[in-house]
Chain A
Amino acid sequence: MRELAIAVLAAVMIAAPFMLGDYQTYLLTLTLIWAILALSMGLVLGFVGQINLGQAAFVAICAYTCAILRQRYGVDFWLAAPVALAAVVSIAALVGLLTLRLKGPFFILVMLAFAEITRLVIANWQDVTNGPLGLKGIMPPEPILGLSFDTKRSFYFLALVVLAVCLLALWRLIRSRTGRMLVAVREDELLSEFIGIPVMRNKVIGLCIGAFVAGLGGLLLGPFLTILAPSQFTLFASVDMIVMAVVGGVGTLVGPVLGAIFLVYVPEFLSFTSHYRPAMMGALLIIVTLVAPRGLLGLADVARGLLARGFGKPRRESGERGRAG
């Protein structure tokens, strides 16, 4: 059943760009990139148990590092990308070591400051980043292994593969020992420590993995938009990721993806202007928290439960799939 659903979904996703026009393919690619970003936030939110308002800074650092290496130093995308990822993970480790000791609002505030500092550095370091005007004309990744990415369709497939690999990798991760340790630390730090789990190390690892995935989204963002500017990486970018993860369902992997689809397409259909976006995000967050704290996935579970009532025993979830409250 589950395998069938995944196979059907994969077939649809592969067929989609051949059925759709350029604009719809663009929109779908945008959704995929947002899904990767939401996934990165979902990991930090659901498995490290922290609200990270600095996630957009991780995206920006990776996107800019890659683009600058390519434009200024002529480095190939496929060489610049791992360097940028290494950079963002190192920065995340450093920031994490300093901030993850802080609890609750203090972590949130320090990460907010980190995000703002990053944005200001980008906006003011004109020689390297071209300041508020941003980097323009970012080219698609160079061809590799006989594949080129210079059409909308080929870039869509690149984003699709990155998202699929992220999902698979994180699915393995949350079932791995590390994933179980993250859940334990999220549930009860003190108890975790006394059953021998190095709490800080696990939290830093969780943040670094989140930064890595955010970085992957950032790598795609540059060539996708062809332009990178500090105005793209404000607080609202992180808030969007949070809303997507929460709307979809925190503590799951499918949730953030659903949230990204929802939040790219719903405003599109309702033709909201971008002016209302922050207000809409805020309202949505409040509604979801009040009405469906487990997000769209939670609602789906409820619906399935209603449908299945009387149809034999309800399906039990294994204990390892604890969800954050």
Chain B
Amino acid sequence: MQADPPILTVERISKQFGGVRAVNDVSLEVRQGEILGLIGPNGAGKTTTFNLVSGRFSLTSGEVRLFGRRITGLRPDRIAGLGIARTFQGTRIFPKLSVTGNIETALLAGSRLGFWEDWLGLARARAVRKSIGGEVARILDFVGLSEHADSEAGSLAYAHQSLLGIGLALALKPKLLLLDEPFAGMNPRETAEAARMVRRIRETGVTVLLVEHDMAAVMGVCDRIVVLDQGQKIAEGTPAEIRANQRVIEAYLGTDDDA
């Protein structure tokens, strides 16, 4: 841990919505190459934390650093450009575009294709587009959607749309991937498959931070887990440690003042 600086440092971040502190003084580190789970009961502030890291919301206080570089306050497209890709709860794709069109859009967005060379169809632009075509095929193969390449994205089954959402994020060639409830709405078989894919993503050198409700899946796939409750971090550790943690059990089962 000392040798490798953390890929992402979240330092004492807070977010206030009106009178509500959705996230309160949360700090965490994501280490290079790990799969870190962010869990907690409903309203714990998991997704808000995601939105703060990816630039969707501005911070009330605190700081987020990527490879030691302060990214607080940057626009989402700039943060994406720096190497953080995210998916959305309930998945978010371009439903009217084809599956290929979706991935292509993300790849084109990240490409260094000049306006004029592309508009005029110069040789270099054609070469870039050709390599993008190859990458689309590679990504679709990776997420297992090759046979749906030409389908309209909105017509895919829900689990496939989730996979496409992950494919969209991978097309940004991120260093850190934020997955927001990747297993939601999946049956156990699909969940197991998706979990295997998360591990394969990590094997390609991408660090993963995931928010998840499905406890079994989280325990199975994560190296470390951070637990939030009511906007605050209440525990951090390996899955085994978390399972044994009294505060976590209380948060999930509810204490007497909840009853």
* A residues adjacent to B (C-beta < 8 A): 169, 172-173, 176-178, 180-181, 183-184, 187-188, 190-199, 316, 318-320, 322-323
Contacts and interface: CB of A to CB of B under 8 A. Distances in A.
Interface stretch (B8-16, B24-32, B80-88): B80-88
Contact of B76 (A173, A188, A193): A193
Nearest to B116: A176
A196 to B, nearest CB: 4
B47 to A, nearest CB: 14
Q: How large is the interface on B (under 10, 10 to 19, 20 to 34, 35 or more residues)?
A: 35 or more
B119 A319 contact: no
Interface of B: 54, 56, 75-77, 80-81, 85-86, 88, 92-101, 104-106, 108-111, 113, 115, 118-121, 150, 152, 168-169, 171-172
Given A176-B115, A180-B108, A195-B105, A320 B97 contact: yes
Contacts, number: 95
Contacts of A169: 119
Contacts of B99: 319
Contacts of A180: 104-105, 108
B86 to A, nearest CB: 6
B75 A184 contact: no
A319 B190 CA distance: 27
Contacts of A194: 54, 56, 76-77, 80, 85-86, 88
Contacts of B113: 177
A172 B119 CA distance: 6
B118 A177 contact: yes
Contacts of A316: 150
Going nearest first, the 8 A-B pairs with the smallest beta carbon separation are A319-B98, A319-B101, A196-B80, A193-B76, A195-B106, A322-B96, A176-B118, A177-B113
Contacts of B95: 187
A190 B88 CA distance: 10
Given A176-B119, A195-B169, 15 more contacts: A172-B121, A177-B108, A190-B56, A191-B88, A191-B168, A193-B77, A197-B77, A198-B75, A316-B150, A318-B98, A318-B101, A319-B152, A320-B97, A320-B101, A322-B94
